[in-house]
Amino acid sequence: MPAVTETEHPTADVVTMDKIVSLCRRRGFVFPSSEIYGGLGSAYDYGHYGVLAKNNVKARWLEAMVQERDDIVALDSAIILNPRVWEASGHVEGFSDPLVDCRTCKLRFRADKLDESQCGRKPSKHPGETPECDLTEPRAFHLMFETRVGAVEDSGSKAYLRPETAQGIFVNFKNVLQLARRKPPFGIAQIGKSFRNEITPGNFLFRTREFEQMEMEYFVPPAEADKWFEYWIEERYGWYRRYGLRESHLRVRPHEADELAHYAAAASDVEYLFPFGWSELEGIANRTDFDLKQHTDFSTTTLEYVGQDGERYVPYVIEPAAGPDRAFLAFLVDGYDEEEVAGRQRTVVRLHPRIAPVKAAVLPLIGRDSGMVEKARGLQQELRRHEIVEYDDNGAIGRRYRRQDEIGTPWAFTVDEQTLADDTVTVRDRDSLAQERLPIGGVRPWLDDALARDWKTPKG
């Protein structure tokens, strides 16, 4: 695992955020939200391929967290919880960012991120760097969205949209401990939406006000907390590598003491080198026994582990907290490539086959040839029972390949003249562009094998 010796270094890639945003729009991965009303700042809607790919990100996370292990169970808690939960967690009192306003350009900035922000009048400068900048004193800006529950608007009806999924897990600790018959070390995993009224959302899907989280709270005997903290850093770093992110673009950055959240004894971020610089994909924290103790105090329900031999303790919590939107963005950025093939430019997104929204395309070489169409349709019908597989007979074959390259489809099966004679098809590989011939009856097991194989990005 590379340590944090690198400072910001520009990527040699051709990828830019503008290219990713335009690819997402063009191919229907992601649209600006409520676009026909002029949009809403930093809110996005996922289209067909975006839904499929993000679902794959979440499925791979659940596989690694739940399916492949005996010690972690799943949960799906409510978004609106009893507001006392957020008092206990410290969010009501402390979940805020320091905000400054500029009286000249009327923009708002995070006081602790001025060096990452652009002055409203002179974008080459940071806020406060030009003589015209007139910044207010920092004040705390609360990040939780408030709402009302029920028909009566009184102070008792106030509630919050959850700013993290983690608290829904802590308040279910006792249920899981009893009903899932677990003993530490064990974990509870949850995927779901969270909401934060971010002061400076931006960089496309990277920071939005409504986003998803994939969080797992791992309850351990206190004496084992350091060991499990290191373990989960390795595991989570390995997960991003397993699904193809380049080693040169991935690192682990331990938090400085002054960066630690109020509940954390230690934390490290898995960071990716986006076109806008190294940024957090996931945080791994040692949350100690802070949350279970707070909820014990506020709810008066004792949240602790009691062993059969009478041993009792409040477990420590190691938390890997990731975001599928950020992971999806990183996979797109990492896979994006432009190259010349046979004298023509192609854009290709080299997604890991198990992240790619469409696993294969089935293409009749000549879209008007009824024999080829029938064979190709039949093959797609067979394959789609197991995987997302597209059929396309519209336009020149080269254009159809390009379209699949842009959405990251790893393989295309082409039905041609020879298929009609000997029931074989060609399979074209998105990355190497190599083609081989297969018997049509062998396509299904071939695809199963190909999806089960390890995959490494050819970008090195």
Binding site for ligand GAP (CB under 6 A): 164, 166, 196, 198, 207-208, 211, 213, 215, 280-283, 319, 321-323, 325-326
> How near is the Cβ of 217 to ligand GAP at its closest, in Å?
9
Contacts of residue 388, Cβ cutoff 8 Å, sequence gap at least 6 = 52, 357, 358, 359
- Position 187: which residue type? G
CA 155 to chain centre: 36
> How near is the Cβ of 35 to ligand GAP at its closest, in Å?
20
Euclidean distance between CA atoms 459 and 163, whole angstroms? 36
Using CA of residue 91, residue 211, residue 281, residue 276, what is the dihedral sign?
negative
**Residue number, 219 or 455, with CB nearest to ligand GAP:** 219
> How near is the Cβ of 228 to ligand GAP at its closest, in Å?
16
> How near is the Cβ of 144 to ligand GAP at its closest, in Å?
12
> How near is the Cβ of 42 to ligand GAP at its closest, in Å?
9
Euclidean distance between CA atoms 103 and 430, whole angstroms? 53
**Residue number, 57 or 407, with CB nearest to ligand GAP:** 57
**Residue number, 325 or 406, with CB nearest to ligand GAP:** 325
In the complex, which residue's CB is closest to ligand GAP? 323
Contacts of residue 298, Cβ cutoff 8 Å, sequence gap at least 6 = 84, 87, 88
Q: Is residue 18 packed enough to be buried (19+ CB in 10 Å), middle (13-18) or exposed (0-12)?
A: exposed
C-alpha closest to that of 231 among 245, 243, 216: 216
**Residue number, 290 or 413, with CB nearest to ligand GAP:** 290
> How near is the Cβ of 4 to ligand GAP at its closest, in Å?
16
Euclidean distance between CA atoms 181 and 203, whole angstroms? 43
**Residue number, 270 or 412, with CB nearest to ligand GAP:** 270
Reduce the DSSP state of residue 224 to 3 states and report it: helix
**Residue number, 217 or 406, with CB nearest to ligand GAP:** 217
